[in-house]
Amino acid sequence: MSSGQRDEYYMQMALDLAGRAMGRTSPNPMVGAVVVKDDQVVGRGYHARAGTPHAEIHALREAGAQARGATLYVTLEPCCHHGRTGPCTDAILAAGVGRVVAAMTDPNPLVSGRGLDILSRAGVEVKAGVLEDRARRLNEVFIKYITTRRPFVVAKAAMSLDGKIATRTGESRWITGPEARLQVHRLRDRYDAILVGINTVLRDNPSLTTRLPEGGGKDPVRVIVDSRARTPPCARVLTRESAAPTIVAVTREAPVENLRRLENAGAQILVVPGDGPRVDLAALMAELGRREITSVLIEGGGEIHASALYARIVDKVIWFIAPLIIGGREAPGPVGGMGPAGLDKAFKLSEVTVTRYGTDICVEGYVQNGCPLPGSEGHFTP
């Protein structure tokens, strides 16, 4: 192998290690590290959870004395500041590492090139940008959050081939098959929060928990967009046992008696800033970001999806499509609202991928544009 191929080989190994902690490191990034000496891997590590040692520390500890003069491959620039743990740059220098290869610089303003600069000025050979695109995609949630203090937002829907999410009578279980539904639970396990509108709660009474066949799933924080606090205290999102809290996002017009009932049922009430009877979704994202919620999976109906898209808070869409034709003029679709008059105002996706789950297909892509319509600028009214 050439030196460039060798760097990519070991960096991919580090990226694979980082991915083991998917959904567990928030608000920190996923990071993997590999220590290589004489073309032999002598240390491996990954960041498992916020507040625990970083990937570099695990890998250096495993390498021990063999780290001296070795190459450290790390998926993100080593930190150089004191947070919940000490600077990784100090540990790297103390171990005598001779070369550090990073996939990308850290977008955190507290680091942002300073870590690599410290190592370089201390005599360590430094290289950055190896498999950077893969590293950025792996940590797309962290990059959005650390640079904007807003969560990375994914809109997910399951629909029939003719674009229906339910029949005209509201029946929607189950449009997709078991393989696609399992993937949805894996998504819930990955993201910090799951968001639905009050109509979904009243119609479907979902629990919004993660249920994986192998167990060990993490329940996301449940967020209900409910301007007037109409969520029933007996709803499953409040009564089903879970370590994850349920946040009910309301406006200042929510009746006090409704708020009191929900608080008594265990809900956390979040009064979202803004005027009028509707929940401002952009303001809601800012509030969730302040609570260190770095990612949100929207699983609502057509109106909440439309409101989120026109609020320009959606970063990515994940659409499951079943080989099923429902039909019916009154059967709802995955995106409601007024809709644009022309195709030039339609939302376009980039980096589109298509995956098959059983008989269903899943289309993923990143939202590139969109123009708010008059009267629908990111507010949700149930």
Q: Please list the pLDDT of the chain residue by residue as tens digits (382 residues).
A: 899 999 999 999 999 999 999 999 999 999 999 999 999 999 999 999 988 999 999 999 999 999 999 999 999 999 887 666 678 999 999 999 999 999 999 998 878 889 999 999 999 999 999 999 999 999 999 999 999 999 999 999 999 999 999 999 888 888 999 999 999 999 999 999 999 999 999 998 999 999 998 888 899 999 999 999 999 999 999 988 888 999 999 999 999 999 999 999 999 999 998 877 889 999 999 999 999 999 999 998 889 999 999 999 999 999 999 999 999 999 989 998 888 888 888 899 999 999 999 999 999 999 986 444 334 444 444 4
Identify the active-site residue in 56, 263, 330, 351: 56
List the domain boundaries for the chain.
3-142, 149-221+272-368
Q: What's residue 120's pLDDT?
A: 96
- Cα 203 to its chain centre, rounded Å, is 26
Q: Does 211 appear as a known binding residue?
A: yes
User: In the block, which residue shows the tokens 């240390």?
Assistant: 43
Q: Does 299 appear as a known binding residue?
A: yes
> Is CATH 3.60.150.10 the right assignment for the domain spanning 3-142?
no
Please state, in angstroms and rounded to a whole number, the distance separating the CA atoms of residues 7 and 74: 11
CB 106 within 8 Å of CB 112: yes
Q: Does 188 appear as a known binding residue?
A: yes
Q: Would you call 191 helix, strand, or coil by DSSP?
A: coil
For the whole model, what pTM was predicted? Answer: 0.90
Same topology between domain 3-142 and domain 149-221+272-368: no
Run of H or E including 33:
strand 32-37
Task: Tell me the β-bridge partners of 153.
Answer: 296
What is 149-221+272-368's CATH topology? Answer: Dihydrofolate Reductase, subunit A (3.40.430)
Q: Does 185 appear as a known binding residue?
A: no
Q: Residue 263 catalytic?
A: no
With left for phi above 0 and alpha for psi between -120 and 50, is residue 324 left, alpha or beta? Answer: beta
Q: Exposed, middle or buried: residue 245 (CB in 10 Å: 0-12, 13-18, 19+)?
A: middle
Nearest to 234 by CA among 194, 267, 209, 193: 267
